[in-house]
Amino acid sequence: MINYLRRTWATVNLNNLDYNIREIQRMVKPGCEIMGVVKADAYGHGDAMVAKRLVANGINWFGVSNIEEALSLREKGIDKDILIFGDTPYSLARVLAAQHITQTVYSAEYARQLSQAAQEQGVVVDVHIKVDTGMGRIGFLCYDDIPAAADAVEAAVLLPSLNATGIFTHFSCADEVSQSSKDYTRLQYDRFIKVCDLLKARGITFRHRHCCNSGGLVCYPEMHLDMVRPGIILYGHTPSAEIADRIHFKPLMELKSVVSLVKEVDESRSISYGRIYTTPKARTLATVCLGYADGYTRSLSGRANMVVNGSLARVVGRVCMDQVVLDVTGIDVKPGDVVTVFGSDGQNTVTVEELAELTGSFNYEMICLVGRRVPRVYLEDGNEIAVVDYIRQRL
């Protein structure tokens, strides 16, 4: 048996990851590469185990937010291509080059700074050019004046000590089905293609042109180009409820905890902080070893269900930092019983999506919030094969 503290833990089903990858591979055209987005510790699932499984399934590109995440992959044995989406201090040009990490170049000023640092440090840095076609965050502005955008990109590409192997943009609403959102996505794509074509006419080409996140990958197959960047669908969740009926991916993660105490409580007893819940009559209550420090947000107080021995039980009172109370009246429960916080047990399921809706959030945030003190336990063919314990730093 894999050794980990069975207080609160998250299981990650690697067979479901295999399935999701195969589905994505089936959806993209031949020759289109797949970049597995593993930023934020693979959306809370554990970057090393997820990335290694992606490599085993033929994935050769990885997307991360920052250089710390990139170096984490390198330290864990991932030797494939990595693209940093966000900012890296230009003074780290030598690190980027030595670790074969591709850096996003998103402005003329940053391009000049990175080029100068690379020259001074005697290295060449691989880069992808980020074009802002309507997301409004970072990137060379490419809205109405396409020639000006092409001029700025061309100047960056021609700087010494930068090797521009790719160009990309990011869709802001590709997972939305309203006509205005569809029109805006097509406008973004049109801007991107125009600037790429104009650069091509000037003799500037790129090995990789990419624009499709999960929503774009699912909804706009004609926009897949040379590479796609699936994130949330890798982990089995829909990028939005609006397109949930179009995809059939399998969630990887389930969050589990245990009952520490079962007690009979009389009528009119207040429970937990703030006395927001008082027993309307005698109830059986169970304390569970989970709280907002584990990622189970306080906004779920009195609103959500968990599954105990196959039955739904409501959270009562305020969620605490380390504990929460369930009403288990009528359910056969004892200390040590496993509680499914989200996931399935018997005929009942609590989904990440329904918890997100209760909190006014969305599924991305719910899985990313699962705390660092929660071990990730990896399953293959129903067996526990590995554990990542962030507190005790072991695998």
Q: What is residue 381's DSSP assignment?
A: T
Is the pLDDT at 394 greater than 90? The verdict is: no
- Whether 239 and 172 have beta carbons less than 8 Å apart is answered as no
pLDDT mean over 57-71? 98
pLDDT in tens, 319-356: 999 999 999 999 999 999 999 999 999 999 999 999 99
Query: Which residues are catalytic, by number?
Result: 39, 273
- Whether 101 and 67 have beta carbons less than 8 Å apart is answered as yes
**How many Cα atoms are found within 13 Å in the side-chain-facing hemisphere of 201?**
9
pLDDT in tens, 140-167: 999 999 999 999 999 999 999 999 999 9
Strand partners, 227: 33, 210
How far is 16 from 57, CA to CA, in rounded Å? 12
- Structure-block tokens of residue 284: 């059986």
pLDDT in tens, 236-258: 999 999 999 988 999 999 999 99
pLDDT at 4: 87
E strands of 214-308, at which residues?
227-228, 253-265, 270-271, 277-278, 283-288, 305-308
Q: What is residue 225's DSSP assignment?
A: T
Is the pLDDT at 220 greater than 80? The verdict is: yes
How far is 189 from 134, CA to CA, in rounded Å? 10
Instruction: Tell the burial category of 119 from Cβ atoms under 10 Å away from its Cβ (0-12, 13-18, 19+).
Output: middle
pTM of the entire predicted model = 0.95
User: Annotation-wise, does 137 bind a ligand?
Assistant: yes
Pairing type for strands 311-316 and 305-308 reads antiparallel
Closest CA to 105 of 160, 151, 62, 162: 162
Domains and CATH numbers, the chain: 15-234 (3.20.20.10), 253-361 (2.40.37.10)
| Helix residue ranges, H only, 45-178 | 47-56, 67-75, 93-98, 108-121, 146-157
